[in-house]
Amino acid sequence: MPRMNLKPGRKDLDRKATFKRLMKYVFHTYPIHFVVIIICIVICAVGSISASIFMPKFIDEVIQPGIKNGFDSVKDHLVFLSVSLGSMYIVSFIASAIMNQLICVVTQGFLYKMRIDMFSKMEKLPISYFDRNAHGDIMSTYTNDVDAIRQLISQAIPQFLQTMLTVTFLFGMMLYYSLWLALVVVVSVYFIFMVTKKVGGGSAKYFMKQQKSVAVCEGFIEEMMNGQKVVKVFSHEEQAKADFAKLNDELEGNAYKANAYANILAPIIHNIGNILYVVIAIVGVILYTNNAINVHAFGVNTLTVGVAVAFLGMSRQFANSFNQVSQQINSVVMAMAGADRVFQLLDQTEEVDDGYVTLVNANIDEDGNVTESDEYTGKWAWKHPHKADGTITYTELKGDIRFFDVDFGYFPDRLVLHDVSIYAKPGQQIALVGATGAGKTTITNLINRFYDLADGKVRYDGININKIKKADLRRSIGIVLQDTNLFTGTVKDNIKYGKLDATDEEVYAAAKIANAYDFITRLPDGFDTMLTGNGSQLSQGQRQLISIARCAIANAPVMILDEATSSIDTRTEALVQKGMDGLMKGRTVFVIAHRLSTVQNSNAIMVLDHGVIIERGDHEDLIKQKGTYYQLYTGAFELE
């Protein structure tokens, strides 16, 4: 199963670098919110240790008589302490409410920006990226990986920061109250740290493997869903289940080990906390009963009952805080794995476009002089700025496409086209014929510059296509593919995909050209019928007719028909072919077809074999040669 490929030369990000980049991403999205959240976290952390601050005072200054600290009565002192403690809790509650609301705003806003950046990046990636990566694997980045980041930003990080601040404040309080008891806590922290490092490290490793296994499983499921008809036709259900079981076993194994490590960590830390509680109690009793000298941050005194009781509470809270931190390790590790995959997508090399020749509306007079127009004229020209002298020339768009000695391979060491030369003059129909894998579709992909040449040149109206901006180049070419792609929306929306600003009249005209008008008007809502699931409610032929109408409305001067009628029955093909003849008139057309009857009227037919043009000529010439085309036409050879 294909895995997400890294940008060439890119190394896996380490966790520190990933976390730093993620936090920078968050901070730049909502800097003021981020600062306010930190302030609220500090207030909440102080509020969480309020009981530890006031407990010694309640016991030593209120419960034990005789200590008034400037108050007229113990009752006044009790009221003062109670109000002070309650006020701290109220402030902490308000800060917590503000923090949670801001976290929601920051998290959703940050994820919104991240998804926008991911999708924008994806739209700029070359076709080869989608050839290398399973679509389900890419989708997992948008779903599982982004959700893991959401949990990190909205839950793990705020809780982690608050817990670590709480631990810091608690330890400061411990040092303030008693150095000896604080040393006992330090020893326990050492054991907690060693356990977390050992167990948490194993958990991290397997959680990262789990995240990758989820992506592979989703990629396989997406592939099986798309190919469900094929699976059933060939009775491949059992083998598909067996293949999925292998992937699912790997996911289950990684998930089990990850959670086994994670689930054992919390009980270990919890029991270390219980032991710490007992040890604190024993040491505290010994120090108190023996009137031992208690060393604290501001000098020495005798350990009091209030301090000893407060220490018990602080030790319990201290251990629980570490336990909470350990529980967030899973979220942090999964989020780091998810963030790394997201950043891998964002770091992919974008499709390079160094073209500077653009397509513009043009006015062309009787003498052939071309001038640029700000309005739609139905005629186009290539606007060619010349860097050498700063001049601009305009070349009428005629649809003259020529290949000169082109070599190409999807991989540098494996060429699929060898020394290909093709001359398509304006208005000509060029047919590409050959067995599957001969290189027919590859040639049309090079015209669109989905891939770049290994050697040779392709010229469009005499201009090297490398100089033409890709968006303008592709705007001048209409294409109908064998595999039809319809988008969720109305029939009208799908036809207008070829020209977004098209009027309803233009939509109807395009549908009539493709002979799709009659069946569309018979749909429940006509042109406003909603299509879903790649137009699953339509027949394959109807879907292809809509695709042809989409190409017709684009009104491009060059057309590529890649098995455009292969999914249409013979009767429908005759109707479509009639409309296509009108559509192709005056345009340069590249036709890829297995049905040789559809290419007989082509001006030139190229017969390809393993990326080499072995025959060329019109139908009559090739029949007279009695070569490969003749044998294909007469049935002596099969295209497959």
166-202 pLDDT tens trace: 888 888 887 777 777 777 777 777 777 777 666 666 6
Classify residue 272: in a domain, yes or no: yes
61 with 155, same domain: the answer is yes
200 with 326, same domain: the answer is yes
Q: How far apart are CA 334 and CA 349, in angstroms?
A: 25
Q: How far apart are CA 461 and CA 381, in angstroms?
A: 10
530-531 and 604-609 as β-strands: parallel, antiparallel, unpaired?
Answer: unpaired
Mean pLDDT score, 552-561: 86
Q: Any idea what the CATH number is for the domain that residue 117 is in?
A: 1.20.1560.10
Classify residue 245: in a domain, yes or no: yes
> Higher pLDDT residue, 219 or 588?
588
Q: How far apart are CA 382 and CA 394, in angstroms?
A: 5
150 with 201, same domain: the answer is yes
Classify residue 146: in a domain, yes or no: yes
The model's pTM is: 0.71
**136 close to 221: Cβ distance less than 8 angstroms:** yes
Which amino acid is present at 87? S
* pLDDT at 579 exceeding the cut of 70: no
Q: Any idea what the CATH number is for the domain that residue 411 is in?
A: 3.40.50.300
Dump the DSSP string for 628-640.
HHHHHHHTSS---
Q: Identify which of 114, 141, 316, 164 has the alpha carbon closest to the alpha carbon of residue 214.
A: 141
Per-residue pLDDT tens over the stretch 405-441:
999 988 877 888 999 999 999 988 999 988 877 888 8
Which amino acid is present at 186? V
Which 3 state secondary structure label does DSSP give 403? Answer: strand
Burial of 591 (0-12, 13-18, 19+ CB in 10 A): buried
526 with 509, same domain: the answer is yes
Q: What is the H or E stretch that residue 477 is in?
A: strand 477-480
- Reading the block at residue 122, the tokens are 């994806």
Rounded-to-10 torsion of CA 211, 212, 216, 217:
-30
Inter-helix orientation angle 305-346/157-177, to 10°: 150
> Containing domain of residue 521, as a range?
401-634
443 with 556, same domain: the answer is yes
Number of domains in the chain: 3
What is the b/e burial string over 435-459, where b = at least 16 CB atoms within 10 angstroms of the residue's CB? beebbbbbbbbbbbbbbebeebebb
226 with 302, same domain: the answer is yes
118 with 171, same domain: the answer is yes
**110 close to 293: Cβ distance less than 8 angstroms:** no
Q: Identify which of 510, 589, 522 has the alpha carbon closest to the alpha carbon of residue 550.
A: 510
The segment with the largest mean pLDDT, out of 64-68, 222-226, 520-524, is 520-524
**21 close to 343: Cβ distance less than 8 angstroms:** yes
Q: How far apart are CA 323 and CA 200, in angstroms?
A: 12
Strand locations in 241-319, DSSP E? 293-296, 299-302
Apex CA 574: angle with CA 506 and CA 507, to 5°? 10
Which 3 state secondary structure label does DSSP give 489? Answer: strand
DSSP one-letter code for 379: -
Rounded-to-10 torsion of CA 16, 21, 22, 24:
120
578 with 617, same domain: the answer is yes
Q: Identify which of 591, 594, 589 has the alpha carbon closest to the alpha carbon of residue 567.
A: 594
φ/ψ of residue 482, rounded to 5: -65, -45
Q: Identify which of 214, 211, 606 has the alpha carbon closest to the alpha carbon of residue 431.
A: 606
463 with 369, same domain: the answer is no
DSSP one-letter code for 387: T
Structure confidence at residue 469 (pLDDT): 92
382 with 420, same domain: the answer is no
Q: C-alpha 109: how far from its chain's center?
A: 17
**309 close to 270: Cβ distance less than 8 angstroms:** no
Burial of 371 (0-12, 13-18, 19+ CB in 10 A): exposed
Classify residue 240: in a domain, yes or no: yes
Sign of the CA dihedral running 398, 399, 405, 406 = positive
Per-residue pLDDT tens over the stretch 104-155:
888 888 888 898 999 989 888 888 888 888 777 888 888 888 888 988 888 8
- pLDDT band with cut points at 50, 70 and 90 for residue 64: low
375 with 455, same domain: the answer is no
229 with 297, same domain: the answer is yes
Which 3 state secondary structure label does DSSP give 557? Answer: coil
Classify residue 458: in a domain, yes or no: yes
Dump the DSSP string for 576-608.
HHHHHHHHHTTSEEEEE-S-GGGSTT-SEEEEE
Per-residue pLDDT tens over the stretch 8-30:
434 444 678 888 888 888 888 88
Classify residue 419: in a domain, yes or no: yes
* 135 Rama sector, left if φ>0, alpha if ψ -120 to 50, beta otherwise: alpha
Mean pLDDT score, 238-250: 84
Classify residue 326: in a domain, yes or no: yes
Classify residue 571: in a domain, yes or no: yes
